[in-house]
Structures are given as structure tokens and as C-alpha cells.
Amino acid sequence: MSAGLLTVALAQYAPVWLDRDATLNRVLAAMEEAADSGAQLIAFSEAFVPGYPFWVELTDGAKFESALQQAWFDRYSDQAVQIDRGDLDKVCARAAELKLWVVLGCIERPRERGGHSLYCTLVIIDDQGELRNVHRKLVPTYEERLVWSPGDGHGLRSFRIGEFTLGALNCWENWMPLARSALYSQGVDLHIALWPGSRRNTVDITRMIAREGRSYVASVSGIMGNAHVGDELPEADALRALMPEIAADGGSCIAEPDGDWLLEPEVGSEGLYLATLDPAKVRKARQNFDPFGHYSRPDVLELRIDRRRQRGWDTRD
């Protein structure tokens, strides 16, 4: 192994579903465990705080003016993360204390967009406790569009972490060729893919992105089932009856830059999964293919990225 090794931890856990503060306590506990295990970076699943909207596909989520859907959205909105209110301050402070990078999926309710629409957001916090990136998912997938709003390109950014360049995308954003290319163009060689859960989401694309980008790719997923539906939630008994015992079975995994498994998909149980990454393997894999280096034709193909934060208004006082 070479110098510049990086140990990463994938936090495959269930949230305290639709309870922001209790789930943030789980984040803090996992951060402690990761740091004690020697990790320099920890990643959590998509929408981990306060949880993925599993009710939508199970309870006629497209029914217009449904009192039940409004009740679910009310709960979801109330438990969403407001960064400017300080909801992530404890996570940032603990990251600084532990010298730990954090990639965290959350549901964000930003005041800059009126304070009521929700975004599937991933945040990146560095080992100094600085909130470095707030990336809102570009396109919510299928039934997600009933509760999440489309994001923008503001968070399509990369960050140096030791010998690696870090980037991250949410769920099916990882299937978007130009979103992936936006990260490749910045030299990303550690790609974090956040998923709500299920091996079927991660088993193919993790290795594909690794092979395409000649990068380490870590997919981190959650766990969820009907036992995680709390009694305080709307029509809890009815939802438990509709939800499978296992609605999200994990599937967290890591592929190496040649597409081989470093960590095969972990299915069916909660846990903190660690692996050590070697930057020499990236350099070796880039010898014959570098997607935005020697194996590109900028005179023929060009990518443009609009990083302006979309607000829908502009003031010129």
C-alpha cells in the first residue's frame, strides 16, 4: 500500500423515522464509532434525516387534496432540516472535534425558497466542522416528486480530502451521465452515492461508475421496515399493515477503480462498514483511461455546469 491511505465508514442504519432530533443523535453516535475505529470520513444514506418518504407509494400518494397525504407532509415538513436554524450545528461541531468528514443525506426545508418546499439534500461537512456543500437532488424520482422539489447545480462540487478528490450524488442522480461527468470533470476519484436502501439499487451501478470514472465508489444505503413506523405517526397501524417487514434492505458497498469489489453489498442488517482506500489504485487505473484527462476531446465535446442557486427571485435595491 502507498502513502495517503483513507479509511471510510458507511453508516447503514435505520433512522428514528420522521424524528429529526432523535435521528441526529444516531448520526452523532455513528460519528463517534467511526472515529474510534480510525475512519476519516463517514457517509450516511439518502434522506437519512429524518427519513425516506416510504408512505407515498403505499397510501395513494397521488390522491389530490387527501387529508392523509397532507397529514404525512405536515409531519415530514415539521421534521425536515433547516440549516439556517442551526439544525446541523451539533454535527458540525462534533465533526471538528473528531477530525471527521461527514456526508449526510437529509430532507431540507430552506427558507430561501419560501420555507415550505422540501429538497432531498446531501451535505458535506469537513474535518474542521465547516459545512462545505449543500447539494439538492436535481430530479426527484417517480413518487418522490409528490413530496420533493427539484434542485439545482449549486452543489455539483468536489473537495480535496487527503490524496483524494471527493464528490457525491443522491440516488438516481448517479444514473445521470452529465451529473456524473460534472464530478469527473473536477477530478473526483472518491464518489459517494447515497441511496434510501436496497441491494437492487447498488449492486450494478456502483461497479459501473467505478469502472467508468476509474474511481473508488462507495454506495451507502439505509434500513427500513414496518417495525420502524412509530405509533405517533399518521395512521400508523394502517401503514405498518401496508409496508413490508423489510422495505429497504441496505446494500451498502464499495467498488475499487478497476470495478472489483472492495466491500460487497451488505444486506439485511444495520452496521458501520469500514474500508481503507489506496490512492495508488486510482493512479494505476487512470493509466489507460482518464475520463476528463487524456481520454477526452474538449475540442469536440464540452460540458457546461450552472452552479447558480435557484431562488426564483432577485432583488436589486
Q: What is the Cα–Cα distance from 140 to 195, expressed in whole angstroms? A: 12
Cα→Cα distances 50→77, 108, 131, 213, 261, Å: 10, 10, 19, 31, 30
Cα–Cα distances in angstroms (integers) from residue 242 to residues 51, 55, 63, 236, in the given order: 18, 9, 17, 10
Q: Active-site residue among 108, 137, 173, 253?
A: 137
Out of 92, 106, 120, 171, the active site residue is 171
Q: Is 143 among the residues known to form the active site?
A: no
- Considering 46, 163, 212, 256, which one is annotated as catalytic? 46
Residue 137 annotated as catalytic: yes
User: Is residue 171 flagged as an active site residue?
Assistant: yes
Catalytic residues: 46, 137, 171
